[in-house]
């Protein structure tokens, strides 16, 4: 099969890779219908995360089951399925509590590289969720978005306790931040402040339900959010970047008693204890337990009540993955969908 491999920072190649095979009786093999490039793929692509060997890339996937292991009972060949970036058994105590991305048996999907024609998914019964039927082509991008960016934005918004009567601010205008806006809208937030300086992203934020756009960053962005909230700060703030500046901006934009939902993969973030102590802010986040939300998200997409696939503003054949990475790195694209 063909698959994307990172050789070194800035050097993505699509090449022949070994076809995935059933290795455990709980595995499934998928023929991927669509895959994509994640904002978190840009950390190693930019060399901010070390690349010490040739790494298969990608952890977002949707496709058709080709084969299942002997112990798989819920998932059948021929089904269209979506899973998250961590395989999980969905039965342990942590999964049952809704934290499948901390499953005691979790396995990272990224190790197998989902930017490819096919993928091995461990713990198939716990990990994969099937759609009611084979989807029409135009629903595939939105279903793919549920695999990570939508589920992650949704979790951030739930972690930030967004809901009716509450003001939500979203720090980060990548695909996750934009879909956190959509999630906040679906959860009934009264006011949604999107922080973005890029016109196309501002437009998408408004289409997803943002009521206010703030273009300032850092302390100026904090001041603007406070201006919009009677000087108090937002009830709920989503952090979807992962830098020191964005995390502090999120904490400082939150009112005392409010909640930060942080899902940007932290790089060099250090929290000042004294400031945190006096902030009275709740912090909750981490790698999103997307599996918790998949049935609900698939239902919303299947019935066309949400259209998260709009975040894909660049669509390329898998063979052109390198251009997809470059476009996102240069912020020419919000998110790149790859057709295997
Ligand atoms: Zn588990």
pLDDT means per 10 residues, the chain with 340 residues, are 95 96 98 95 88 89 98 98 97 98 95 94 98 98 98 98 98 97 98 96 98 96 98 98 96 98 94 97 98 98 98 98 96 95
Q: Quick one: pLDDT at residue 201? A: 96
Distance CA 97, CA 206 (A): 33
| Cα–ligand 1 centroid distance for 331 (angstroms) | 36
pTM to 2 decimal places:
0.96
Tell me how far the alpha carbon of residue 93 lies from the centroid of ligand 1, in angstroms.
Answer: 7
Question: What separation in Å is there between the alpha carbon of 119 and the centre of ligand 1?
Answer: 21
CA of 52 to the centre of ligand 1 (A): 30
Quote the ligand 1 centre to 106 CA distance (angstroms). Answer: 7
Contact 2, 40 (CB under 8 A): no
Cα of 126 vs centre of ligand 1, distance in Å, is: 8
100 CA → ligand 1 middle, Å: 6
Compute the distance from residue 294 Cα to the ligand 1 centre, in Å: 15
Please name every residue paired with 239 in a beta bridge, in sequence order, or none if there are none. 171, 262
C-alpha 92 to ligand 1 mean position (Å): 4
Q: How close is the Cα of 288 to the center of ligand 1, in Å? A: 14
Cβ proximity of 182 and 151 under 8 Å: no
Ligand 1 center to 108 CA (angstroms): 13
Q: 104 CA distance to ligand 1 centroid (A)?
A: 5
- CA 229 to chain CA centroid, Å, is 28
Burial classification of residue 303, based on how many CB atoms lie within 10 Å of its CB (0-12 exposed, 13-18 middle, 19 or more buried): exposed
Instruction: Give the distance (Å) from ligand 1 centre to CA of residue 98.
Output: 9
């Amino acid at each position: 099969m063909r698959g994307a491999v990172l050789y070194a920072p800035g050097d993505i190649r699509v090449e022949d890779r070994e076809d995935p095979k059933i290795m455990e009786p709980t595995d499934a093999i998928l023929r991927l219908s669509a895959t994509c490039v994640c904002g978190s793929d840009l950390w190693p692509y930019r060399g901010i995360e070390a690349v010490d060997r040739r790494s298969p890339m990608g952890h977002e996937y949707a496709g058709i089951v080709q084969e299942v292991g002997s112990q798989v009972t819920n998932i059948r060949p021929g089904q269209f399925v979506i899973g998250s970036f961590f395989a999980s058994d969905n039965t342990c105590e942590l999964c049952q509590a809704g934290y499948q991305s901390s499953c005691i048996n979790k396995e990272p999907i990224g190790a197998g590289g989902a930017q490819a024609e096919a993928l091995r998914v461990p713990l198939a019964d716990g990990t994969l969720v099937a759609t009611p039927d084979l989807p029409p082509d135009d629903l595939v991008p939105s279903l793919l978005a549920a695999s990570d960016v939508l589920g992650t934005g949704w979790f951030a918004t739930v972690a930030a306790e967004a809901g009716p009567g509450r003001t939500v601010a979203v720090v980060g205008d990548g695909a996750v931040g934009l879909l956190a806006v959509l999630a906040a809208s679906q959860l009934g937030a009264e006011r949604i402040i999107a922080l973005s300086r890029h016109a196309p992203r501002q437009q998408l934020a408004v289409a997803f339900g943002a009521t206010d756009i703030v273009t300032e960053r850092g302390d100026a962005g904090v001041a603007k959010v406070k201006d919009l909230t009677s000087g108090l700060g937002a009830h709920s703030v989503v952090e979807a970047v992962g830098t020191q500046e964005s995390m502090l901006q999120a904490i400082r934009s939150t009112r005392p008693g409010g909640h930060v939902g942080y899902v940007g993969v932290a790089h060099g973030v250090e929290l000042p204890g004294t400031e945190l102590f006096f902030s009275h802010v709740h912090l909750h986040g981490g790698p999103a337990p997307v599996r918790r939300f998949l049935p609900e998200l698939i239902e919303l997409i299947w019935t066309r009540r949400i259209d998260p696939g709009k975040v894909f503003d660049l669509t390329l054949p898998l063979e052109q993955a390198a251009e997809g990475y470059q476009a996102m790195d240069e912020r020419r694209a919000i998110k790149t969908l790859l057709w295997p």
